[in-house]
Amino acid sequence: MHTSVLEEWKRDKLIFAFDYNDVEYFPSYALDTGRECRPQPAIAEVLNIFGAEKGGWGCAFWFEAVNGYLNGKTPKETLPYYPKRVIEAAALEMSPIAHG
């Protein structure tokens, strides 16, 4: 994949990246191999929900963390099968805590 394409997708908030030792990494799970390695559409929706609250590392940690809303699975492993659930989990992540 050509770097300028990845940068364009990142700029358009279709995908995210994180830096480690001055190298920028793009998560492979954010690309849909069934769509010629184009960004997973749900990633853009999740990034829109997160807004400026989560940077690249925050997104990477969230996608890798076990999520109770996803029945103990990670968003990363749920994404290919239930993208709408991942979007819903992101919305719950960003919703204010309701006290009863």
Report the alpha-carbon distance of residue 99 to residue 50 in Å, rounded: 22
Residue 98 pLDDT > 80: no
Residue 67 pLDDT > 70: yes
User: CA 20, 21, 22, 24 torsion: positive or negative?
Assistant: negative
Residue 73 pLDDT > 90: yes
Q: For the whole model, what pTM was predicted?
A: 0.89
Q: What is the average per-residue pLDDT within 1-22?
A: 91
Domain boundaries of the chain, sorted by first residue: 3-94
